[in-house]
Structure 1
Amino acid sequence: MILNKSIEQWQNEFPKLKNMMEYKEVLWLNDQLLPAAQILPDLSLGEQDILDAEARLKRFAPYIAHVFPETEEQAGIIESPLTELTHIQDSLKQQSSTEINGSFYLKEDNKLPISGSVKARGGIYEVLAFAEKLALEAGLITEDGDYKKFADDEFKQHFSQYTLVCGSTGNLGLSIGIMGAELGFNVIIHMSDDARKWKKDMLRSKGVTVIEHSDDYSKAVAEGRGETVGDPKSYFIDDENSITLFLGYAVAAIRLKAQLQAENINISTEQPLNVYLPCGVGGGPGGIAFGLKVVFGNAVNCYFAEPTHAPCMTLGLMTGYHDKISVQDFGMDNVTAADGLAVGRASGFVGKLLENLISGSYTVSDENLFKMLAEMDDKENIKLEPSALAGVSGPAAVKKGGVHIAWSTGGNMVPDAVYQEYYKQGKSLI
C-alpha cells in the first residue's frame, strides 16, 4: 500500500502509471494548466525577485571576469549560446515518425563557462549571494563597491571560516565546488553513487572534500543537510528547496528573451515558444520554467523531460502528491545513465509552485538518449552528456508547432575518453 492505496488503485486513477512502471516512454499533458496572469500574482516569488538576482550577477561580473579568464569576452556574464539545429530533425523523424513543425534551437548550457552545465546558473549564483551577504555584514564591501575585491586575500581569509555543503549527483556539486573554492570557502560535497568518477576527481583537484554515499541522491542530500544543523559557520545549499538557487536559474529567461530578439524570433500565442527542460529533482528546470512564464506568459509552453527509470517530477505532478511519493515506491529503480536526472523524489517546492504553469512532461529511455547523443555529434557536431539529450526529443514527443528550444544541461567538461564511450554506445544502438 502506498498512501493507503493499492498499486491497482493508483493505476486505475492514473492510467499512465502502468507504462511508467514498465519503463515505457510516456507523455503527460497537464490538465491543471491555467493562464499565467491568473497564477503568477498569487505566487510567493515574482518578476522583481528575478530582476534582483540579475542585478546581483551584474555586480559580480567584474570579479567573475577577473578570476575566470574564459568569461572575459562576455565581461563576466555567465551565459550560453542559442544555436539553431539544422540536421537533427531527420534523426528525430526516423526515431519517432514525426515531422517537427517549426524552427528548432539548442540552448547550449553545456557551454556555460566555469562549470560547463546548467548548474553554473543556480549553483554559482547561490555561492555568490552567500559570499555577498557575508562581505556586506563584515563591512568588507558595499553594493556599489568594486566587486573585484572579492579576489583579495582579506575576503578569502574571511570566507575560509565558513563551510559550504551540498548533496549532488554531480553537476551542482561541480558548480558549487569550483566557485566556493575560488572564493576561499571550505566546501564539502556529498555525492550519490550514480555520480560520475571524473566529477568527483575534478572536485578533489580543486581542494573540495567529496563524501561518497552508496545510495541515491536523496541520501546524499539528507546527509549534507544533517551535517550543517546547529553549525552557524556551515551553509547548506539545498537543491530541493532553495529559493536562491531557483532564482539563479530563473535569470536565464531574461537572457533568452534578449537572444531571441537579437535573432528576430518573434514569440506570441500564435507562434508559441516550446521549451523542453531535462529534469532531476526540479530546481534547475523549475527555475528556468518559472522565469519563462514570468517573461513570456501564455506564449511559452514548458515541458519537463525525464529518464524512464527516474520520472519523479512526472509522477509528482501527475498525481498531485509531489514529494510525498517516490519512483521507488512504485518499483522503479532510479537507475539511469543520465546521472544528473537520477532522482527518485521530486522537489515539493518546485512541483507545487509550478503545478498550474507547467504544460506537461515526458520520459525518454536511456537507449534513445544514447542514440540522440551520437546523432547530435554526427549531425550537428555538438557533444553532450546523456542527461542533456532528454530535451532534444521534446518536439517529437509533444508534437506542437511553434519555436522549439531543447535546453541542454552539460557536456563540455566530460573527459574525452568518457565521452567516446558514450558515443560508441550510441552508435552501437542506432
Structure 2
Amino acid sequence: MKNKIIEGKTIREWKQEIPLINKIILTEEVFWTNSKYGKLEDAIKKVSLSESDVKDAEKRLKRFASYIAKVFPETIKNNGIIESPIIKIPNMQKKIEEMFNQEILGQLLLKCDSHLAISGSIKARGGIYEVLKHAEDLAIKNNILTVEDDYSIIHSDKFRKFFSQYSIAVGSTGNLGLSIGIMSAKLGFNVYVHMSADAKKWKKDLLRSKGVTVIEYESDYSKAVEEGRKQALADPNMYFVDDESSTDLFLGYAVAAYRLKTQLEEMAVLVDGDHPLFVYLPCGVGGGPGGVAFGLKLVFKDNVHCFFAEPTHSPCMLIGLITEMHDKVCVQDFGIDNITDADGLAVGRPSGFVGKTLENLISGVYTVQDENLYMLLSTIADLENINLEPSALAGIPGLVHVFKDEAGQRYIESHNLKNKMKNSTHIAWATGGSMVPNDVMESYYEKGHKYQQLI
C-alpha cells in the first residue's frame, strides 16, 4: 500500500509533503484550515456562478410555492416555502464546554434542516429544487406552463399524466434519494433511486411506499451514482440528478443563505466586521454544504467563516482539498475504508465541482468519530429535546476545534478575530433526523448513552 502511486506520488511522499495526512489515514479526528482561503472579492472572480444565479433559483422556488402548499399541507403555514427554524441551544452549549473542557465565546445556534418539510433533511433544498426546475423546463418547453401562471395548476391529472412520460434517476446514500423520490413521485414522474450499501432500510422502505423504484447495491455511493448515470444515458426521457456536479442542486442549497439572513435579523443577531459568524456544515460529496457555504459568502462576505465536517472514515472533501486533487483522489486510495454510521456523509470521492468552486472560499474541514456523533446525539436529545440522525451532529464539535485547536487559534489570529470572538455567533447545521422512525431513533439514543458512560 505504501508504494501505491496516487496522482504521481506514493503515500509516503504524500505524508512527507502534508504531515496531517498521517492522522487522516489513522482515522484520528483532525482540524485543517485552508491556506488558500482568501477575500471574497478575489475568490469570487474564479467562480462561474454568481448572485444572479442564486436569485433566479429563489424566484423559481417562489413560483412553485402555491403548488407546494397544495400538495404538502405541512408547508401551508409558510405559504409553500420550504424553510427550517433556527434556534438557540444554550443547554447544549454549556454541556459542550463541560464535555470538551473548553470555554466557548459567543453563542451557539442550531439550523434545523433536520426538520425541513417534505423530506426532513438539507436535501429538501437542493434535491427538491432540481426536480422542480426540471419539471418547469419540461412543462414550459411543451407549452403547458408559463412563468406567469399560478403554479398550483400543476396539481392536476393533466400535469401528472404529462410528467408520467418522463423518468428521473439519482444515486444516493439516503437523504438525497428521499427528497428526489418524494418530490418526483408527487409530480407524476417515474423515479429510480440507486442506493448505496450505507443507505438505511427505513429510507428505502419509505421511498417504496411512495411508489419509487429503489435499486440497492452492496458497494458505496460512487457505484450507486455510476449505475444511475448509466441508466439515464440509455433513456432519452430520463433525467439524472448528478449529486457530484449539478449546478442546479448547488443553487437550490445556496438559497438558504438569504433566508438565514432574514432569520438572524429577526433574532437580532448581528453579523458584521465586529460580530463574526462561524458555520459548521456536515459534508458528504459536498453539494449541500458547498451550496449553502457559497450562498453564505455571497450574503455575509468576509464576515462568515464556513467549515465542513466529515466522519473520520469518510474524509473525502478534506483529502480532495488538502491534496488539491479534488475528485481525482478518494479515501480508499489512502487505505481509508469509507465505513461510517453517518450514512449521509459516507462518500469516498468528493465533488470536483464543489471542491474547485470553494477552494478559496472554504475556511477549513474537520473530522468527527462516529462515537462522538452518537454521544452528541443522545446529549442534545436529553438537553434540548431535539432528535437528529448521526450525520446531523457533525456540525456541533466545530466550534470546539476553533477555540481549542492550535490551528483554530492561528485562524482566529490571522483573521484579526481574537478580540471579536466574544461577539461571535456559531451555527451548527443540522442536516437530517425528523423522519427517522421512533425505533431507529431509540437505538441511536441508546448507543449514544453507552458511549457517554465509557468516558
TM-score, length basis structure 1: 0.99
Q: Map Cα deviations across residues 325-359 of structure 1 (whole Å, 9 max, x no partner).
A: 11000110000010000000000000000000000
122, 144, 151: which one aligns with 2:155: 151
Structure 2 residue 399 is matched with structure 1 residue 377: no
Letter in 2 for 1:254: Y
Structure 2 residue 188 is matched with structure 1 residue 189: no
- What is the rounded CA distance, in whole Å, between the counterparts of 1:200 and 1:398 in structure 2? 37
240, 250, 272: which one aligns with 2:254: 250
Query: Secondary structure in 2 aligned to 1:200?
Result: helix
Structure 2 residue 280 is matched with structure 1 residue 276: yes
Cα deviation for residue 98 of structure 1 reads 1.4
- What is the rounded CA distance, in whole Å, between the counterparts of 2:96 and 2:102 in structure 1? 7
Structure 2 residue 54 is matched with structure 1 residue 36: no
Structure 2 residue 90 is matched with structure 1 residue 86: yes
Q: Map Cα deviations across residues 51-72 of structure 1 (whole Å, 9 max, x no partner).
A: 0000000000000000000000
Structure 2 residue 132 is matched with structure 1 residue 128: yes
Letter in 2 for 1:423: Y
Letter in 2 for 1:133: D
Query: Which aligned pairs between 1:132-143 and structure 2 lie closer than 5 A?
Result: 132-143=136-147
Which moves more between the two structures, 316-325 or 90-99?
90-99
1:413 counterpart residue number: 435
Cα deviation for residue 424 of structure 1 reads 0.1
Which moves more between the two structures, 162-171 or 92-101?
92-101
Structure 2 residue 220 is matched with structure 1 residue 198: no
- What is the rounded CA distance, in whole Å, between the counterparts of 1:67 and 1:7 in structure 2? 53
- What is the rounded CA distance, in whole Å, between the counterparts of 1:376 and 1:345 in structure 2? 30
1:118 counterpart residue number: 122
1:96 counterpart residue number: 100
- What is the rounded CA distance, in whole Å, between the counterparts of 1:270 and 1:215 in structure 2? 48
49, 55, 63: which one aligns with 2:53: 49
- What is the rounded CA distance, in whole Å, between the counterparts of 2:163 and 2:144 in structure 1? 11
- What is the rounded CA distance, in whole Å, between the counterparts of 1:195 and 1:108 in structure 2? 22
2:290 counterpart residue number: 286
Cα deviation for residue 397 of structure 1 reads 1.4
403, 406, 409: which one aligns with 2:425: 403
Structure 2 residue 380 is matched with structure 1 residue 358: no
Cα deviation for residue 89 of structure 1 reads 1.8
Q: Map Cα deviations across residues 273-299 of structure 1 (whole Å, 9 max, x no partner).
A: 100000000000000000000111100
Letter in 2 for 1:425: K
Percent identity over the alignment?
57
2:408 counterpart residue number: none
Letter in 1 for 2:38: L
Q: Map Cα deviations across residues 243-284 of structure 1 (whole Å, 9 max, x no partner).
A: 000000000000000001111111012211100000000000
Cα deviation for residue 230 of structure 1 reads 4.2
1:341 counterpart residue number: 345
Structure 2 residue 449 is matched with structure 1 residue 427: yes
Cα deviation for residue 427 of structure 1 reads 0.3
- What is the rounded CA distance, in whole Å, between the counterparts of 1:210 and 1:129 in structure 2? 23
Structure 1 runs of 4+ with >6 Å offset = none
Q: Map Cα deviations across residues 140-180 of structure 1 (whole Å, 9 max, x no partner).
A: 11101010011111111110010100000000000000000
Structure 2 residue 174 is matched with structure 1 residue 170: yes
2:301 counterpart residue number: 297
2:230 counterpart residue number: 226
- What is the rounded CA distance, in whole Å, between the counterparts of 1:300 and 1:40 in structure 2? 15
- What is the rounded CA distance, in whole Å, between the counterparts of 1:92 and 1:123 in structure 2? 32
Query: Secondary structure in 1 aligned to 2:145?
Result: coil
- What is the rounded CA distance, in whole Å, between the counterparts of 2:380 and 2:139 in structure 1? 44
Structure 1 residues without counterparts, runs of 5 or longer:
none
- What is the rounded CA distance, in whole Å, between the counterparts of 2:233 and 2:51 in structure 1? 32
- What is the rounded CA distance, in whole Å, between the counterparts of 1:417 and 1:51 in structure 2? 41
Q: Map Cα deviations across residues 303-328 of structure 1 (whole Å, 9 max, x no partner).
A: 00000000000111111011011100
TM-score, length basis structure 2: 0.94
49, 63, 68: which one aligns with 2:67: 63
CA RMSD of aligned residues (A): 0.8
- What is the rounded CA distance, in whole Å, between the counterparts of 2:8 and 2:245 in structure 1? 27
Structure 2 residues without counterparts, runs of 5 or longer:
404-411, 413-420
- What is the rounded CA distance, in whole Å, between the counterparts of 2:222 and 2:60 in structure 1? 30
- What is the rounded CA distance, in whole Å, between the counterparts of 1:230 and 1:366 in structure 2? 39
1:261 counterpart residue number: 265
Letter in 2 for 1:293: K
- What is the rounded CA distance, in whole Å, between the counterparts of 1:348 and 1:18 in structure 2? 23
How many equivalent pairs are there?
A: 430
Query: Secondary structure in 2 aligned to 1:72?
Result: helix
Letter in 2 for 1:318: I
